[in-house]
Amino acid sequence: MPLRKQQKELAPVIIEAAEASCKEAQREELECSESSELEGSFDAGWQKRGSGWSYNSHTGHASLIGVNTGKVVEFDVRTRNCSICQYHIGKNEPNPPHECNVNWTGSSKGMEPDMACSMIQKLLLRMDIRFKHLPNGKALSGDKLKEELDKLAQSYIERADRLLNLGSTQSNESFNNSVASFAQKNRFYGGTKSLKARVSSAVMQKNEGYGWLSKSKKLKDNQRETVKEGDTYGGEIEVQEHIDTETIPT
């Protein structure tokens, strides 16, 4: 089987496994937390090296890593390219119906705050999250938001001389290095699902260790058996009240 075809087949499985691993990491992080609050460090990375003055990468990724477990509890990817769209635009043809890979149209630097907001929104939907340093644990809005941001900015301005030499978040930087080993910066993977699959591979390696491939293979095998034999191979099938099994095809 050609490598590109294998990659296309494996990408959804690896992405699904990484998302499941993040959910498990969230549970572990909450169990380790003394205050029943999820705390983590955030950082973003890009697949193209910036000069320090100009950032024009077409793709980027971000991670939220728990402070207690050191595992990735959420991740996200942004890309401004789709290989199928580019192919047909180059031939002056209308784009056929397809799953477009583009999920960002702004600047490269704008990817970072957008991914941060997106990951927090995902966590809000999955669990009861309180904002630790905001009044009543609720998100701010309107004039109150501006007032709090002004106070925050002033506190940093007053101690700017002490903040000049702060370093990066170490665990996130380590994760970014792992992503770079799967998605080398001298190659472009953002036109297809390949980039998200590679970032997902880095998530699995950080959360599950170097034996993560066996877990992805098990998930793929279960999906194959589910297609052949119905829901009998589904997750937690034994505890479901209403099970509609299918006849095994001959």
Residue 143 — pLDDT band, cuts 50, 70, 90?
Answer: confident
Amino acid at 90: G
Is residue 248 in a domain? no
Per-residue pLDDT at 189: 87
Token duo for residue 86: 């580019």
- 198 burial level (CB within 10 Å; 0-12, 13-18, 19+): buried
Residue 167 — pLDDT band, cuts 50, 70, 90?
Answer: very low
Is residue 48 in a domain? yes
Range of the domain at 193: 3-133+168-233
d(CA 130, CA 220): 36
What is the CB neighbour count within 10 angstroms for residue 60? 27
Q: What is the mean pLDDT of the chain?
A: 81
Q: Residue 29: which H helix or E strand, with range?
A: helix 3-32
> Strands 59-66 and 40-46: what pairing?
antiparallel
| pTM tops 0.85 | no
Token duo for residue 171: 């665990």
Is residue 129 in a domain? yes
**Tell me: the pLDDT tens digits for 42-94?**
999 998 866 556 678 899 999 999 988 999 999 999 999 999 999 999 999 99
